[in-house]
Chain A
Amino acid sequence: MASPNAVLLISFLLFSIGIAGVLIRRNALVILMCIELMLNAANLNFVSMARHSGTVGGHAIALLVMGYAAAEVAVGLALVVAIYRRRDTIQVDDMNLLKG
């Protein structure tokens, strides 16, 4: 049991840690993990609001977001492997082909 405000605070903290990771890390793998973390923070909010409003819609949408996250991470990791094969790096600041 926790108040909805506590859930909002915790999920806000998780989300901001995810944003910080995306902004500061060079490693594309860690950036993907941070994106997963942000999706989980949003899911936590959905579950809390479902509990607060007493409807199952939040649970359903959290389950769907989980599936989308799985699809996203599969494609993202395939992209990381493909970039590593081609350019021999997974540092995001080495991926500058469009920079000219």
Chain B
Amino acid sequence: MESILASLGQHLFVIFGLMACAAAAVMIFSKSAIHSVLAFLTAMLCVAACYLCQQAEFLGVAQLLVYAGGIVVLFLFVVMLVELSKFREKGLFQAQAKVALPLVVAFVGVFSWFFRQALFGAPSKEALTLPPEISGGLDVAANNAQAVSRGLFSGWLLPFEILSVILLVALVGAIVLAKSERA
């Protein structure tokens, strides 16, 4: 039992990744939109667990906050605002689904053949590093959030500031689009 648990711990990333894939498949094939949103939530939680398995603690928690806390709630609100019951009789899938689905499965088959022995290969051993002038004596491997913030605010400052402007534009744009029409 202990050896099973130990080998499970080694392959935790693969387990969570496959769970995310299963939840994503449930998401695209489920009939009800609420079920789709819940499967999306499951997939995002599994992706957050994958981040944690990759020693990206800050990103894992950010994923939990942004997706499980924000985006899924937004989707749920829209599902409740929009009455979906009258679309049932038109069918779930588009007309091109008969062509598209086998095509995607064929692509997955081709690429998986290239990856066929990769799933349980050797783990990568590198820990995160920072240039010495930025890290300033920080133990990068142990302090993930500090390391990411130093990297973000030294080399990635301009994209970060652009992101803040884009978020503001999206905020205003969403309000304008969703506002009721002029009286």
For the residues of B in contact with A, the DSSP-based class is: helix
CB within 8 Å of B: which A2-32 residues: 2-14, 16-21, 23-27, 29-30, 32
**C-beta contact mask, B135-170 vs A, less than 8 Å → 1, else 0?**
000001000100110111001100110010011011
Whether B166 and A71, one on each chain, are in contact in the complex, defined by CB atoms closer than 8 angstroms, is: yes
Interchain CA distance A91-B59 in the complex, whole Å:
34
Interface residues of A (CB under 8 A from B): 1-14, 16-21, 23-27, 29-30, 32-34, 36-37, 40, 43-44, 47-48, 50-57, 59-64, 66-75, 77-82, 84-85, 89-93
Interface residues of B (CB under 8 A from A): 10-11, 13-14, 17-18, 20-21, 24-25, 27-28, 33, 36-37, 40, 43-44, 47, 50-51, 53-56, 58-59, 62-63, 66-67, 70-71, 74-75, 78-79, 81-82, 84, 87, 90-97, 100-101, 104, 107-108, 111-112, 115, 118-124, 126-130, 140, 144, 147-148, 150-152, 155-156, 159-160, 163, 166-167, 169-171, 173-175, 177-178, 180-181
